[in-house]
Amino acid sequence: MGKLVVLTLLGAVLALIGERLVAFRQRTNASRAVEPVDLPNCHLIEGLENGSEDIDILPNGLAFISSGLKYPGMPNFASDEPGQIFLMDLNEQNPRVQALNISDGFDKASFNPHGISTFIDKDHTVYLYVVNHPHMKSTVEKFKFEEQQRSLVHLKTIKHELLTSVNDIVVLGPEQFYATRDHYFTNFFLVLLEMIMDLRWTYVLFYSPKEVKVVAKGFSSANGITVSLDKKCFASRMFCLRSPK
């Protein structure tokens, strides 16, 4: 009788895992055939051989690009090189990228940039906020953009217990932003289990110097995020919610 119970439980577990694997493949379109598409107006931007994770474009056409992300389970094209922030002028006929110098005092060797977002102050100063994963942790780095010098001045590192496994960020004001957590677990094998089992344990949080709180939760993997022009509604993937007051 005991063996029968064990075999029954084992069969149920294997059936659940099999069903979850099939559902996971369907969610990720793993079996979809990708057809080639001819895009005559597209051309390769050289200098981003280590990949480009995120882009944020200023009203004047200057674009910031984060590159060189090292993430568990993802291909790594330059394991010995730190990540970089590139600048590209979209007003040029043939845009090229330029790596931005980062001020001394910042740990550039462990720079591992992910999502980025800009904020323009009343005096037209441009601030760049970068999700960083030094040593596979999560922080948000605040930089000031020096346009003439084509450089970034590091101002502050933001840490909080809720800023874990951060994916993307969208800035609303001085040190005020929304951020997404893409995985509940940090261990690679537990992350795989989380994805296969479709555990909806990730969230979107709001950060400010006065308060940090979860504003939306119940997602299988909260990823990219943006905000409406009036800053009253934020959106990540397929949801849109009113900003908290």
Q: Which 3 state secondary structure label does DSSP give 27?
A: helix
Report residue 114 as tokens.
């992910």
Check whether 112 is labelled as a binding-site residue. Answer: no
Tell me how far apart the alpha carbons of residues 16 and 151 are, in angstroms, rounded to a whole number. Answer: 52
Report the C-alpha dihedral over residues 109, 110, 116, 122, rounded to 10 degrees.
Answer: -60
Strand partners, 203: 217
Task: Tell whether residue 94 is among the known ligand binding residues.
Answer: no
Residue 145: CB atoms within 10 Å? 21
Distances (CA, A) of 157 to 10, 55, 107, 163: 48, 20, 11, 12
Of 114, 133, 154, 183, catalytic: 114
Give the angle subtended at the CA of 85 by the CAs of 67 and 187, to the nearest 5°.
45
Residue 35 is labelled as binding a ligand: no
Q: Which two tokens stand for residue 126?
A: 């441009």
The verdict on whether residue 223 carries a ligand-binding annotation is yes
Q: Is 89 annotated to bind ligand?
A: no
54 is annotated as contributing to ligand binding: yes
CA distances from 227 to 53, 132, 244 (A): 19, 21, 12
Catalytic, 114? Answer yes
Q: Which residues are annotated as a binding site for Ca(2+)?
A: 53-54, 116, 167-168, 223
Residues annotated as catalytic (active site), given as ranges = 114
